[in-house]
Structures are given as C-alpha cells and as structure tokens.
Chains A and B, each alone.
Chain A
Amino acid sequence: MSLLHIAIFAPLLLAIFIPFLFKRLRLIHTGWFVFGLSIILFIYFLQLLPDIRDYEIQETIDWIPSLGINFTVYVDGLSLLFTLLITGIGSLVALYSIYYLSKEKEDLGSFYVYLLMFMGAMLGVVLSDNLIVLYTFWELTSFSSFLLIGYWYHKERSRYGAQKSMLITVFGGLAMLGGFLLLYLMTGSFSIRDIVSMASEITADPFFTPALVLVLLGAFTKSAQFPFHIWLPDAMEAPTPVSAYLHSATMVKAGIYLVARLSPIFAVQGTWFWLVAGFGIFTLAWASFNAVKQTDLKAILAYSTVSQLGLIMSLLGVGAAALHYSFLDDNLYMAATFAAVFHLINHATFKGSLFMVVGIVDHETGTRDIRKLGGLMQIMPITFTIALIGTFSMAGLPPFNGFLSKEMFLAAMVNVMSLDIFNMDTWGVLFPVIAWIGSVFTFVYSMLLLFKTFTGDFKPEKLEKKPHEAPFGMLLPPIILGALVVVFGFFPNILSASIIEPAAKAIAPALIDAGQEYNSHISFWHGFTPELYMTIGIIIFGAFLYVSLPKWEKIYRRFPEKLSLNYFYDQSLIRAESGSRGLTNSYMNGSIRTYMIYILISFVGILAFSIIRKDAFSFTTEGLAPIGLYEVVLGIIIFGASITILVAKSRLTSIIALGAVGYTVALFFVLFRAPDLVLTQLVIETISVALFLLAFYHLPKINRKEERIGFKLTNALVAAGVGVIVTIIAFSALSNRLFESISQYYVENTAEKAGGFNMVNVILVDFRGFDTMFEIAVLGIAALGIYGMIKLRLSRREDQ
C-alpha cells in the first residue's frame, strides 16, 4: 500500500464519512471537507511533476494474483496530467458547489458522497495499469455519474437523462471489457505496459481488429463521440458543478485518456487512424453545427463539449500517423499529439469556467434560456469578463490559449493532406475542410453564448429574480480558471516542458528519441502559415454568419425530427420494450396445454435430432424372450382399455377403463413373477380409482358436460410423436445393451449377507435403504399436504 494507492482510495474513504459529517457538523458546509481533500491531493500530485520527467512511478498491491489482476498504479506524464485535472478542477468545483448548493435546502450528504466516489473512481481510471482494475473504476465513474445526473431525482428530465447516460456508457463499458479480454487472450497479460511492449507481435492476430473496435466503442460512448453523443446534452439536468466537473473536464475525457493510453498498441493499424480521426472530425463539425440552434445555455455548452472532444479525438487519430513516419526528421504528426494534449488542458480550463459562469447566471437570474436573457454586462461585470475570456478562448481567438491549440489543430489537419498512407491522398482534403467548417460554427455559438447573454436589451420582466453580481466565493473558481486561460495563452511553455512533453511521450513511447523537436514545435507560433489565414477566415466568416443568424436560422427547422439521433434512441427503447412484451405475450399465453406442447415438441425434437445425428437407431431380435399366449391376451386387454380411455364419452367410463388398465398391469406382474409388485399395485390402484371417483363426484354441475375429448390434429401429432420416439429409444436401448446386469450379486448375497430371503424387500430396506427412506418422506409430505389443503380451506370458510 503506497501513498499513490492511498491517494486513490482517499476520496472513497472520505465518502464513507461524509454522511456522518453532514449530520453532525451542520454548521460547516460539507463541501469544505471535500475541498480540503482535493487540494491536498492536488498538491501531492503536483509534487510528483518533477519526477516523471525522468522516470515513471509504479506501485503494486495484489488483488487477485492468481488471475493476473493486481492493483498496479502507474504514473507517467499522461496519467499525471489527468490526475492534476481531476484534483485541480475537483477542488475548484468543490469550492464552487459550496456557494452554489444551499446547506439548508439540498441533500449535501448524498451529493458529496457521489462526487467523492466519482473523484476516486476517476483517479483509479487514469492511474491503473491493469486493464481489469481500469474497467472496474470505469464502471464506477458511470455509476457515480448516473447518481449525480439524477441528483434532483424528483424531476422527470433528470431521471430520463440519468437513465440515458447510464444505458449508453454502460453499453460502451461492456464493449470495452470485451476488448480488454481479447487483448488478454492475445497477450496473456492485463498490464497495459506489458501489452504495449508486445504490441508489434499482435497486429496480425485475428482478434486484433475486434479488440480495437470494442475498445473504441467504450472510448466513444464515454467521450460522447458521434453517434453516442446524445447522452451528454441530456446529462445537463445535473447540478451545474457536476456538469462543470464531469461533463466538461473529467469523465468525458476518460475516453480520450483511453484512446491516448492505448494508442501505442493500436495506432499502427489504419483502422485506428480512420476511426479515431474520422469520427472525431465528424463529431466536431456535427456538434458545433447543432450547438448553434440550442437556446439553453447548458445545452450549448454540452454540444460545444462534444465538439471539442471530437477535436481532441481527431488530433489523437492524426497523431497516430506519427508511428508510420517516425523515420522522418521533421515529424509533423507528432505535433498533432502535442496539440491534443494542449487542447485537452485548455478545454478543461475554459469549459470549466464557462459552466460555472452559466451556473452563476442561472443562480442569479433563475433562467438559462438565452431568449430571456440579455444586457447583463452592467449588472454582472465580473461574470461577463470571465465569460468573455472563456468564449473567446473557445472560439480560438488570440491572445487566449484556445487560439494556440486551434492553430495547432488546423496545422495538423493541413498536414494530414500530405499523408500518403491509408488512402489519405484521395480523402485527406476533407479533413481541413470539415475542421474549418466546424471551427466557423464554433465561433458562431461562442459569440452567441456571450453576446446573447450579456449584451442587448435587459429584460427584467422575463426573469424570476432580480439579478445581481454573484458572491465572491462563487466567482473565485471561474476567476482562477479564467486566469489560467490567460496565463496559458501568454506563456504556453510553462506547460510544454513540464507536462505536455511527458504526456506526449506516454502516448507515443516508440518515438521518444526526438524529444528536442517536439519542444521546438510548442514554442513555434509566429509566422504567416496557412493555419493563420484559416483562423482569419474563421473569424471573418463566423462574424458574418453570427450577424446574419436570424436569416438562416430557419434551416434548423428543416431537419425532420424523425432523422435525429434522439428520436432514434427513444424509438429503439420503445420498440425494444414493446417488441419484447409482444414476444413474451405471444408465447406465454398462460395455458398449460400450450406449455405442454412446447415441452413435448422440444422433447421429441431433441431426441429425434440426436438419434438421427448419431445414427443411433438399431433393432435386433437377438436375446429376446419368446412371446407367450397370456402376454398377448393381456396386451390386447390393455390396448382396448387405453383406447376406451381416449374415446369414452363419459368421464366415469374413462376412470373405470383406467382402473382396468391398472388391474391388468397387476396381472402382468403376476405373469412376470413379481408378487410384491402385484400386491402393491392392486391396493394402490383400488385407492387411486376411489380417489378419481371422489374427484368425479364433486365436479361442479354446470361444467359437467358429458362429451368426448375433442380431436385436435396438433395434439394427436405430438402424442404420436412422443409415443414413437419413446418406443424407438426403448428398442435401440435394448438392442445396444453394453454390459451384463449386476443383479447376480443380489442373488448371491441376499441370504448370505443380509439374512433375508425376499430379494425385493432386502434391496428396499438393506442394500438400497436410502431411497426407501426418502420415498417414505415423500408419502409423509403428500399426506401432510393433503391435510393442510383441506384443513386450511375449511378454516378459512369458517372465518367467513
């Protein structure tokens, strides 16, 4: 148990004590404890920063060693970057939530338990080296996210959003588990680093591509990539701190982390490049296009998050091309990986601050609808300043950090065109075009978010509260994030050497040697390059689109509702439900006759199939006893009586015929020399016929129609099938007798060892007395049961 393990478990441990603290220390807002812990964790991870430039940290504790599942914690640049994001933004969110959530009105105990669960799980995801442990924490993030989205569980939309996100992310999580198991089958190890070291050996494996696709399914659902992005806008029903934390900075980046982490394994294949880069770039364009039509501030931010995640994803995909060009000195594609990591940090800063800003606006005005908002600039100047920094950074304007990463992104996309692998020479031109279009829409919705909220006419009559500036405590976290946006914008190199470089090394470990060149890339942002002209184009064209928005807004209404993915999701849920209900209703009709037919048909079918398949039918007359006259006569009697049972008009006749069958069987026992059986059979048959008569006598008068059993072809066929198949099996079994009976032992030892002369009775009570004991138990239970049924029924009647 190292300090790192304690760091992962600390939030989970504190979560146990949170309800206690919430109940006992009512005066202190529970969030302060969470804030304290995450600050401590942040500082702890911060002091690991110098170490990982030189070496990686690894600690192991055994969990299930026999299965190769150990809780191995592994820290390199990539995981440290994520832990800093998780704990850093976690502290700011905790601080923000202290002012956002009321101590009196909200159930803070539950909230912080969920939040800490999530924080611990997320730390576990990014620090685990073992795939199964990673999956465990992965699912824990899904669960805690489900709980947090449904925090206001009395609202129908919250429950809907929670369910939707749960279904989609757990679907992806299970697919990912499948991918992990395939990786294990290929390499025999669950450790990511072992698998990475074996990566070159498994590319030709038939499991390789399925594993790749399954893992990507997990990453795409978690990171809200097209077409799985639909859960994220509905997850906006969560409290705003949750949206800021989970759905912008941390959880949705778990998929990004997974893609980055497993790049060294999968990136050599073209499929990976196409899937990651292609879906990423399409998600970017599609989500930014959709963000413009939203009227809810959080919905805009949700689509914006989806779009930015697509951007990072596509950069990671393009970065995968570096593996194919490692022999070049001028490594353009490694720069894409840099850009991905850089934008990851930038996005966490500005998107976190924007969510908090939106939360403040919501908190102080009572609405998030941009149609009701406007003119808040003079009333909330600080909030406006933060929003301005965040949105300009999101749109990619200088001098903020979004500008730098957007430039690097565009540069990477332009460079893709010169790639001549994976058919990129024909399709590569699409990448910069789609990226440019997506960026234009990003610009439009960023401006929309800022100006519709803070400029224009102030409409106090539409607002529920009288708006005013937020308290300082609520403003502090977004101010810190906004300050970071500016700092990273002006001094990006404080990040590059300390964290981005180790992270990029972790993503592409095979290319470590050329470390110096990466460094030069991050500092390089001056000069008249194609991407600069693209940015200018984005600003001009975006401004034009923003101004003319009322004119072209109508095109959104042209999209039919039926083609949207949400409609598809809702309908598939409804269809799945009604379909399975219909299926169940169609065969579970409640009639025992139908179930008997199912049972017997499957009985006949399985037996017939196995007899035909194994060619098992055989029939020999060898070793058969001669047939005597008496057997024939008795056989005819039984046959006649059985037919009588079937065709008799009255039930009474059937009962008597059944009795006749029983007595004839007793006569058979006489003929085949079984005196004990005869005795028992006679007595039992008499009693059961008497019981049948009893049941017959008490039939209700109304239903007592005396008529023949109706003829049904299905029933006749099934009955004939059962009879034929049993007969065939009896013949085959008799003809295939494999070894002699063991009865000779009983014949020899009945008198000698057991001291009896009646062999049947000696077997029943001596050689195999256990069976007899439980037969006695069966009779006892039957007797008690009958007594109980009669007695209880009578007593109930007396009560009435």
Chain B
Amino acid sequence: MIEMMLTTALVLFALAIAIALYRIISGPSIPDRVVAMDMIVVNLISGIAVVSVLLKTKAFLEVILILGILAFISTIALSKFIERGVIIERKRDG
C-alpha cells in the first residue's frame, strides 16, 4: 500500500519536472528558465527523499542537503549574473 503511494508520488514529481522542463526549453526569458531550474532541483530533492524511503536507507540524506545548497547557490549566482554581468566581483582598488 505504502509502496504504491510512494510510487505515485514519484510519478507526480516526474510530471512536475517534465512541466518545468517545458518552461526551460520554451521559456522566453532567462529568469523564467532559472526559476524552472530551481523548481526541478526542489522536485529532485523530494524525489530522492521518496526513493530513500523506498530503498529503506538513510544514506541519501546528505545528498538532499547538498542538492539544497547547490540549488540555492546556483540560483543566487545566476541571479547575480543576470543583474550585474559578473558573478565574482573584483576589488575596485585591486
């Protein structure tokens, strides 16, 4: 019973990823794509969590954490790139 529920959840996540993928491919502006990417990663996090319940292991919890951090950092980086043109600014007086 629980297994079927989890599988259903995975299918729904996959559906969400597919929809976000559509936005990435067609999305007219770059911010659209960035947000869609962020959404894909969040869905991946949830998917991995469900998979680790399915596999009955705690070993993938670090993966979830790492993905969360990576998604955050890359979204920030891309935002900064869109805003200012560079990601890491040099010192003005350097």
Q: Interface extent on B, as a size class?
A: 10 to 19
Contact with A along B23-46 (1 / 0, CB 8 A): 010000000000000000000100
Chain A, range 666-714, C-beta contacts under 8 Å to B: 667, 670-671, 673, 675, 678-679, 682-683, 686, 690
Chain B, range 5-58, C-beta contacts under 8 Å to A: 14, 24, 44, 48, 51-52, 55, 57
Q: What's the nearest-Cβ distance from chain A to residue B67, in Å?
A: 6
Tell whether A633 is near chain B: CB-to-CB under 8 Å: yes
Contact with B along A624-646 (1 / 0, CB 8 A): 00000010010000000000000
Q: Is A679 a contact of B57 with CB atoms below 8 Å? A: no
Which of B14, B52, B57, B59 has the most chain A CB within a 10 Å cutoff? B59
Q: Is B63 a contact of A682 with CB atoms below 8 Å? A: yes
The answer for the CA separation of A675 and B62 in the assembled complex, in Å, is 8
Using CB atoms, name the residue of chain A closest to B37.
A656
Tell whether B66 is near chain A: CB-to-CB under 8 Å: yes
The answer for the CA separation of A724 and B74 in the assembled complex, in Å, is 38
Q: Is B66 a contact of A682 with CB atoms below 8 Å? A: yes
The answer for the CA separation of A690 and B57 in the assembled complex, in Å, is 31
Which of B24, B51, B63 has the most chain A CB within a 10 Å cutoff? B63
Contact partner, A678, options B14, B63, B77, Cβ 8 Å? B63
Write out the residue numbers on chain A whose beta carbons fall within 8 Å of the beta carbon of B63. Answer: 670, 675, 678-679, 682
Q: Is B70 a contact of A678 with CB atoms below 8 Å? A: no
Contact partner, B62, options A633, A671, A673, A679, Cβ 8 Å? A679
Q: Interface extent on A, as a size class?
A: 10 to 19
Q: Is B59 a contact of A686 with CB atoms below 8 Å? A: no
Write out the residue numbers on chain B whose beta carbons fall within 8 Å of the beta carbon of A679. Answer: 62-63, 66
Write out the residue numbers on chain B whose beta carbons fall within 8 Å of the beta carbon of A663. Answer: 44
Write out the residue numbers on chain B whose beta carbons fall within 8 Å of the beta carbon of A678. Answer: 60, 63
Q: Per DSSP, are chain B's interface residues mostly helix, strand or loop, or mixed?
A: helix
The answer for the CA separation of A673 and B24 in the assembled complex, in Å, is 29
Q: What's the nearest-Cβ distance from chain A to residue B84, in Å?
A: 13
The answer for the CA separation of A630 and B6 in the assembled complex, in Å, is 13
Q: Is B51 a contact of A670 with CB atoms below 8 Å? A: yes
Write out the residue numbers on chain B whose beta carbons fall within 8 Å of the beta carbon of A670. Answer: 48, 51-52, 60, 63
The answer for the CA separation of A519 and B39 in the assembled complex, in Å, is 115
The answer for the CA separation of A690 and B66 in the assembled complex, in Å, is 17
The answer for the CA separation of A513 and B55 in the assembled complex, in Å, is 103
Write out the residue numbers on chain B whose beta carbons fall within 8 Å of the beta carbon of A656. Answer: 24
Write out the residue numbers on chain A whose beta carbons fall within 8 Å of the beta carbon of B77. Answer: 690
Write out the residue numbers on chain B whose beta carbons fall within 8 Å of the beta carbon of A630. Answer: 51
Q: Is B51 a contact of A682 with CB atoms below 8 Å? A: no
The answer for the CA separation of A679 and B62 in the assembled complex, in Å, is 7
Q: Is A675 a contact of B67 with CB atoms below 8 Å? A: no
Q: What's the nearest-Cβ distance from chain A to residue B57, in Å?
A: 7
Q: Is A686 a contact of B51 with CB atoms below 8 Å? A: no
Q: Is B74 a contact of A686 with CB atoms below 8 Å? A: yes
The answer for the CA separation of A318 and B67 in the assembled complex, in Å, is 95
The answer for the CA separation of A615 and B44 in the assembled complex, in Å, is 46
Q: What's the nearest-Cβ distance from chain A to residue B23, in Å?
A: 13
Q: Is A686 a contact of B70 with CB atoms below 8 Å? A: yes
Using CB atoms, name the residue of chain B closest to A671.
B51
Q: What's the nearest-Cβ distance from chain B to residue A73, in Å?
A: 80
Write out the residue numbers on chain A whose beta carbons fall within 8 Å of the beta carbon of B55. Answer: 673
Chain A, range 125-159, C-beta contacts under 8 Å to B: none
Write out the residue numbers on chain A whose beta carbons fall within 8 Å of the beta carbon of B57. Answer: 673
Using CB atoms, name the residue of chain A closest to B61.
A675
Using CB atoms, name the residue of chain B closest to A689.
B74
The answer for the CA separation of A686 and B44 in the assembled complex, in Å, is 15
Asked whether A633 and B14 contact (CB < 8 A) given A683-B66, A683-B70, A686-B70, the answer is: yes
Write out the residue numbers on chain A whose beta carbons fall within 8 Å of the beta carbon of B51. Answer: 630, 670-671
The answer for the CA separation of A690 and B81 in the assembled complex, in Å, is 12
Using CB atoms, name the residue of chain A closest to B21.
A660
Write out the residue numbers on chain A whose beta carbons fall within 8 Å of the beta carbon of B67. Answer: 682
The answer for the CA separation of A682 and B66 in the assembled complex, in Å, is 8
The answer for the CA separation of A678 and B63 in the assembled complex, in Å, is 7
Using CB atoms, name the residue of chain A closest to B65.
A679
Q: What's the nearest-Cβ distance from chain A to residue B2, in Å?
A: 17
Using CB atoms, name the residue of chain B closest to A669.
B63
Q: What's the nearest-Cβ distance from chain A to residue B15, in Å?
A: 12
Using CB atoms, name the residue of chain A closest to B14.
A633
Write out the residue numbers on chain A whose beta carbons fall within 8 Å of the beta carbon of B60. Answer: 670, 675, 678
Q: What's the nearest-Cβ distance from chain B to residue A1, in Å?
A: 77
Write out the residue numbers on chain B whose beta carbons fall within 8 Å of the beta carbon of A675. Answer: 59-60, 62-63
Contact with B along A107-130 (1 / 0, CB 8 A): 000000000000000000000000
The answer for the CA separation of A10 and B44 in the assembled complex, in Å, is 89
Write out the residue numbers on chain A whose beta carbons fall within 8 Å of the beta carbon of B59. Answer: 673, 675
The answer for the CA separation of A231 and B81 in the assembled complex, in Å, is 76
Q: What's the nearest-Cβ distance from chain B to residue A669, in Å?
A: 9
The answer for the CA separation of A678 and B48 in the assembled complex, in Å, is 11
Using CB atoms, name the residue of chain B closest to A674.
B59
Write out the residue numbers on chain A whose beta carbons fall within 8 Å of the beta carbon of B14. Answer: 633
The answer for the CA separation of A663 and B66 in the assembled complex, in Å, is 13
Q: What's the nearest-Cβ distance from chain B to residue A757, in Å?
A: 11
Write out the residue numbers on chain B whose beta carbons fall within 8 Å of the beta carbon of A690. Answer: 74, 77
Write out the residue numbers on chain B whose beta carbons fall within 8 Å of the beta carbon of A682. Answer: 63, 66-67, 70
Write out the residue numbers on chain B whose beta carbons fall within 8 Å of the beta carbon of A667. Answer: 44, 48
Using CB atoms, name the residue of chain B closest to A680.
B66
Q: What's the nearest-Cβ distance from chain A to residue B46, in Å?
A: 13
Contact with A along B62-94 (1 / 0, CB 8 A): 110011001000100100000000000000000
Write out the residue numbers on chain A whose beta carbons fall within 8 Å of the beta carbon of B48. Answer: 667, 670
Write out the residue numbers on chain B whose beta carbons fall within 8 Å of the beta carbon of A683. Answer: 66, 70
The answer for the CA separation of A370 and B51 in the assembled complex, in Å, is 105
The answer for the CA separation of A683 and B65 in the assembled complex, in Å, is 12
Using CB atoms, name the residue of chain B closest to A693.
B81
Using CB atoms, name the residue of chain A closest to B41.
A663
Write out the residue numbers on chain B whose beta carbons fall within 8 Å of the beta carbon of A673. Answer: 55, 57, 59
Q: What's the nearest-Cβ distance from chain B to residue A363, in Å?
A: 80
Q: What's the nearest-Cβ distance from chain B to residue A42, in Å?
A: 86
Write out the residue numbers on chain A whose beta carbons fall within 8 Å of the beta carbon of B24. Answer: 656
Q: What's the nearest-Cβ distance from chain B to residue A15, in Å?
A: 68
Write out the residue numbers on chain A whose beta carbons fall within 8 Å of the beta carbon of B62. Answer: 675, 679
Q: What's the nearest-Cβ distance from chain A to residue B89, in Å?
A: 15
Which of B24, B51, B66 has the most chain A CB within a 10 Å cutoff? B66
Write out the residue numbers on chain B whose beta carbons fall within 8 Å of the beta carbon of A633. Answer: 14
Q: What's the nearest-Cβ distance from chain A to residue B5, in Å?
A: 16
The answer for the CA separation of A542 and B86 in the assembled complex, in Å, is 100
Using CB atoms, name the residue of chain B closest to A697.
B81
Q: What's the nearest-Cβ distance from chain B to residue A337, in Å?
A: 94
The answer for the CA separation of A667 and B45 in the assembled complex, in Å, is 11
The answer for the CA separation of A671 and B70 in the assembled complex, in Å, is 20
Chain A, range 258-313, C-beta contacts under 8 Å to B: none
Q: What's the nearest-Cβ distance from chain B to residue A678, in Å?
A: 5
Using CB atoms, name the residue of chain A closest to B67.
A682
Q: What's the nearest-Cβ distance from chain A to residue B63, in Å?
A: 5
Chain A, range 644-670, C-beta contacts under 8 Å to B: 656, 663, 667, 670
The answer for the CA separation of A667 and B74 in the assembled complex, in Å, is 19
The answer for the CA separation of A656 and B55 in the assembled complex, in Å, is 30
The answer for the CA separation of A671 and B54 in the assembled complex, in Å, is 10
The answer for the CA separation of A656 and B57 in the assembled complex, in Å, is 31
Chain A, range 385-440, C-beta contacts under 8 Å to B: none
In the complex, besides A670-B63, A673-B55, A675-B59, 20 extra interface pairs with C-beta distance below 8 angstroms are A630-B51, A656-B24, A663-B44, A670-B51, A670-B52, A670-B60, A673-B59, A675-B60, A675-B62, A678-B63, A679-B63, A682-B63, A682-B66, A682-B67, A682-B70, A683-B66, A683-B70, A686-B74, A690-B74, A690-B77
Q: Which 3 A-B pairs have the closest CB atoms?
A: A675-B59, A678-B63, A686-B70
Q: List 16 A-B contacts (CB under 8 A).
A: A630-B51, A633-B14, A656-B24, A667-B48, A670-B48, A670-B51, A670-B63, A671-B51, A673-B59, A678-B63, A679-B62, A679-B63, A682-B63, A682-B67, A683-B66, A690-B74
